[in-house]
């Protein structure tokens, strides 16, 4: 009977979420939930929109000691009168109703001709996800105050004092930690956001005060985008001076509204990182979007036209947009009347017309600048041409050797007889000598052996399409039956020939190095093989202990992986009452010294071997990537040395 009630589906099963309840039920649909910065950003955006409209000159953000954050501006102040249709004060509607705000009024003379808020769920989301929210408004000579808790009004709007000549809005927020992964506000990210607004709003000062640390900062950029861009590129030498420009639509345009357009600062560097930041109506678009695509299109069209006009293109070279854009750093600020974003977090602009809007504003002034400054133009053209040539060389892929349309298995591969992929194993063995012992000691039914000559190539910085230039990597890929791939590539796992891929190397420093080189190959170029649990490391013993016959016990051979296990074995022998002269210890210098029988018994036999699965475990992929880059990156020698100096005492020397 209880089960029947549980599964009953009728009219009462339909639940209607009212007010701000949808936000609290599914906060991730409306904002980022890593921390509370984004809901604070909604409040800051409102103050920035007042500044963008020319009504505010200061934006103050204070991190209070009790964990709350306040945002204040000297703009016009949120209207406090009753809404003509709702019969509720406008300030209450703004903080308690989804899809309500002044940013929908786009008519001439509207409250916000250009603004970041378009969905109308901004500060109402802030209120919904806060334990408490206080709003103070200075408007029309009076001070007003309204207080919310858990999204509901607990202190109705009332006039509290005269404004004393002040105008603006102050919002103090106590974010509710239960909605966020981390209750702490990322101060550095908040500071960058306020700094960027000072760049994008000429004459506006942004302030950040932290009551806990006693520190405060202010930003005001006289040089605008250029100064900010030069900070971003830091010490990287510029190929030419930064190019600054802006373009906005005037009267008579049939496609775009008056005032739509962009301003930009662009720099070209020969090497190093290429920082890029973009904004739409002051909203940071960290994931880019169509406005960035418009900048790219405008740059490409102008630079390509200059190259063709001056006959600079070498024979057989074709310049593509990515060639022109590859060494470009920029700060782009676009003004779009009705911006469409990907999701409420507004990280990516998706407005289709923005591409053509920005491209048409960028291309003409760049063409003019290139033809006025021929020296700079030629340097930019040379950068693009070199990038195109490098791309063309990289595209000359080294293909796998094939015969009759089927990849030919490596001649040195000793394959197994079984076709049961779940059972089949392949051992990548260090050296031909060890490979010979492994071939004789293996179970030929399900174990395959692929000997490797010397140390495998360090493939950390090798492009995927150049991997097959290395014979060892080529043979490994052909033997496995799958090509190098990325994290999200689609793989036909039916082509995988072995369920276990086992790295088998000597139990010494050189063997460990070979392990690292092979793990680098798999982590970087066969990541899904690792994720699916196909990669293992075989652990051959370092020591052999020959124990003489004693009493009724025959002579025997024991093995130890390392010094610690050796100590344990010897302690056990002593507990058996054996004297020190009853055994002898041999250290294997390499797999080649082991007989086929010993190799089978210690390393190949599934019942007695030690085989370690390679997995990321609890370490995040980003952290693993950084560690691999430190250890294997060609340009990280100085960092490796510093790391070894710091961590070297933790390693035991194997002499």
Instruction: Exactly one of 34, 420, 489, 510 is catalytic; name it.
Output: 510
pLDDT of residue 552: 64
Instruction: Exactly one of 260, 292, 430, 472 is catalytic; name it.
Output: 430
pLDDT of residue 228: 86
Mean pLDDT across the stretch 224-247?
A: 87
pLDDT of residue 529: 92
- Residue 613, Cβ neighbours under 10 Å: how many? 12
Mean pLDDT across the stretch 454-461?
A: 80
Give the separation between CA 352 and CA 256, rounded to whole angstroms. Answer: 12
- Residue 268, Cβ neighbours under 10 Å: how many? 24
Contact 61, 211 (CB under 8 A): no
Give the separation between CA 378 and CA 306, rounded to whole angstroms. Answer: 9
pLDDT score of 285 more than 70 = yes
442 vs 97, 264, 446, 543, CA distance in Å?
72, 66, 9, 21
pLDDT of residue 653: 53
- Residue 258, Cβ neighbours under 10 Å: how many? 14
Model confidence at 339, pLDDT cuts 50, 70, 90, reads confident
Respond yes or no: is residue 347 known to be catalytic.
no
Least confident of 41-45, 148-152, 400-404, 581-585: 400-404
Mean pLDDT across the stretch 108-121?
A: 43
Mean pLDDT across the stretch 252-262?
A: 82
Respond yes or no: is residue 607 known to be catalytic.
no
Q: What global pTM score does this model have?
A: 0.51
pLDDT score of 3 more than 60 = no
Instruction: Exactly one of 260, 425, 506, 601 is catalytic; name it.
Output: 506
Least confident of 12-16, 135-139, 458-462, 614-618: 12-16
Least confident of 94-108, 416-430, 548-562, 608-622: 94-108
| More reliable by pLDDT, 612 or 301 | 301
Model confidence at 111, pLDDT cuts 50, 70, 90, reads very low
pLDDT of residue 5: 44
Give the largest CA-CA distance in the chain: 108
- Class of residue 369 by CB neighbours under 10 A (exposed 0-12, middle 13-18, buried 19+): middle
Residues belonging to the chain: 655
- Give 201-212 pLDDT, tens digit per residue: 888 999 999 999
- Measured over the CA atoms of residue 21, residue 26, residue 29 and residue 30, the dihedral's sign is positive
Three-class secondary structure of residue 613 per DSSP:
strand
Least confident of 14-28, 234-248, 349-363: 14-28
Least confident of 40-49, 56-65, 340-349, 366-375: 340-349
pLDDT score of 2 more than 50 = no
SS (H, E, C) 212-223: CCCEEEEECCCC
If you write DSSP's letter for every residue of 508-556 in order, what string do you get?
SHHHHHHHHHHHHHHHHH-HHHHHTT-EEEE---SEEEEE--BTTBPPE
Respond yes or no: is residue 510 known to be catalytic.
yes
Three-class secondary structure of residue 419 per DSSP:
coil
| More reliable by pLDDT, 287 or 2 | 287
Strand arrangement, sheet containing 543-547: 556-560, 543-547, 583-587
- Per residue in 395-424, is it b (16+ CB within 10 Å) or e — as a string? eeeeeeeeeeeebeebeebbbbebeebeeb
CATH number of 21-219: 3.30.565.10
CATH number of 224-394: 3.30.230.10
Say what percent of the chain tops pLDDT 90: 28
* DSSP H/E element including 161: strand 152-162
pLDDT score of 167 more than 60 = yes
Give the separation between CA 159 and CA 29, rounded to whole angstroms. Answer: 36
Q: For the chain, what is the mean pLDDT?
A: 82
Contact 263, 246 (CB under 8 A): yes
- Class of residue 204 by CB neighbours under 10 A (exposed 0-12, middle 13-18, buried 19+): buried
Model confidence at 146, pLDDT cuts 50, 70, 90, reads very high
pLDDT of residue 539: 85
Model confidence at 336, pLDDT cuts 50, 70, 90, reads confident
Three-class secondary structure of residue 579 per DSSP:
coil
Most confident of 302-306, 508-512, 513-517, 523-527: 302-306
Instruction: Exactly one of 353, 508, 562, 565 is catalytic; name it.
Output: 508
Sorted by where each begins, the domain ranges of the chain are 21-219, 224-394
Mean pLDDT across the stretch 640-647?
A: 77
Could you tell me the two tokens for 440? 């004789």
SS3 content of the chain, % helix, strand, coil (to 5): 40, 20, 40
pLDDT of residue 100: 53
Mean pLDDT across the stretch 599-616?
A: 81
Respond yes or no: is residue 338 known to be catalytic.
no
- Measured over the CA atoms of residue 435, residue 437, residue 438 and residue 440, the dihedral's sign is positive
């Amino acid at each position: 009977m209880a089960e029947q009630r549980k599964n009953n589906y009728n009219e009462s099963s339909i639940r209607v979420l009212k007010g701000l309840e949808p936000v609290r039920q599914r906060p991730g649909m409306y904002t980022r939930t890593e921390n509370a910065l984004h809901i604070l950003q909604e409040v800051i955006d409102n103050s920035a929109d007042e500044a963008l409209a020319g009504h505010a000159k200061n934006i103050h953000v204070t991190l209070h000691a009790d964990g709350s954050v306040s945002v204040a501006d000297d703009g016009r102040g949120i209207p406090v009168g009753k809404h003509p249709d709702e019969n509720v004060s406008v300030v209450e509607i703004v903080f308690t109703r989804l899809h309500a705000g002044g940013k929908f009024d786009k008519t001439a003379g509207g409250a916000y001709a250009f603004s970041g808020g378009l969905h109308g769920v901004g500060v109402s989301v802030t209120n919904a996800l806060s334990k408490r929210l206080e709003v103070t408004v200075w408007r029309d000579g009076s001070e007003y105050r309204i207080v919310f808790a858990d999204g509901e009004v607990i202190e109705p709007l009332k006039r509290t004092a005269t404004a004393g000549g002040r105008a603006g809005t102050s919002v103090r927020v106590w974010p509710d930690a239960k909605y966020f992964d981390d209750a702490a506000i990322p101060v550095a990210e908040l500071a960058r956001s306020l700094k960027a607004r000072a760049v994008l709003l000429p004459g506006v000062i942004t302030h950040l005060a932290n009551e806990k640390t006693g520190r405060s900062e202010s930003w005001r950029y006289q040089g605008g985008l250029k100064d900010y861009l030069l900070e971003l590129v830091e010490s990287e030498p510029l190929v030419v001076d930064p190019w600054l420009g802006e373009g906005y639509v005037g009267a008579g345009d049939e496609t775009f509204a008056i005032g739509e357009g962009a301003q930009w600062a662009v720099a070209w560097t020969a090497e190093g990182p290429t920082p890029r930041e973009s904004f739409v109506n002051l909203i940071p678009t960290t994931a880019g979007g169509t406005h960035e695509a418009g900048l790219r299109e405008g740059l490409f069209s102008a630079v390509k036209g200059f190259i063709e006009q001056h006959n600079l293109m070498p024979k057989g070279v074709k310049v593509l947009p990515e060639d022109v854009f590859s060494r470009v750093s920029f700060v782009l600020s676009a003004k779009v009347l009705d911006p469409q974003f990907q999701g409420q977090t507004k990280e990516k602009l998706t407005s289709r017309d923005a591409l053509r809007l920005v491209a048409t504003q960028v291309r003409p002034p760049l063409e003019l600048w290139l033809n006025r400054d021929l020296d700079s133009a030629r340097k930019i053209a040379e950068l693009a041409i070199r990038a195109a040539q490098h791309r063309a060389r990289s595209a000359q892929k080294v293909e796998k050797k094939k015969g009759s349309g089927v990849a030919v298995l490596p001649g040195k591969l000793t394959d197994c007889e079984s076709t049961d992929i779940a059972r089949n194993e392949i051992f990548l063995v260090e050296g031909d000598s060890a490979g010979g012992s492994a071939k004789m000691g293996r179970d030929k039914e399900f174990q395959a052996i692929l000997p490797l000559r010397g140390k495998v190539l360090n493939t950390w910085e090798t492009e995927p399409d150049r991997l097959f230039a290395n014979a060892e990597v080529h043979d490994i890929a052909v033997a496995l039956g799958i090509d190098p791939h990325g994290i999200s590539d689609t793989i036909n796992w039916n082509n995988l020939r072995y369920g276990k891929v086992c790295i088998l190397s000597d139990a010494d420093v050189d063997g460990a190095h070979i392990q690292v080189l092979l793990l680098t190959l798999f982590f970087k170029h066969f990541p899904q093989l690792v994720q699916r649990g196909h990669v293992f490391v075989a652990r051959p013993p370092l020591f052999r202990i020959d124990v003489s016959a004693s009493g009724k016990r025959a002579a025997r051979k024991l093995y130890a992986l390392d010094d610690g296990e050796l100590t344990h074995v010897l302690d056990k022998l002593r507990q058996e009452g054996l004297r020190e002269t009853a055994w002898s210890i041999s250290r294997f210098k390499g797999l080649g010294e082991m007989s086929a029988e010993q190799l089978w018994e210690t390393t190949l036999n599934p019942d007695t071997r030690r085989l370690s699965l390679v997995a990321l475990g609890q370490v995040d992929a980003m952290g693993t990537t950084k560690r691999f880059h430190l250890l294997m990156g060609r340009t990280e020698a100085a960092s490796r040395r510093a790391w070894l100096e710091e961590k070297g005492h933790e390693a035991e020397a194997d002499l």
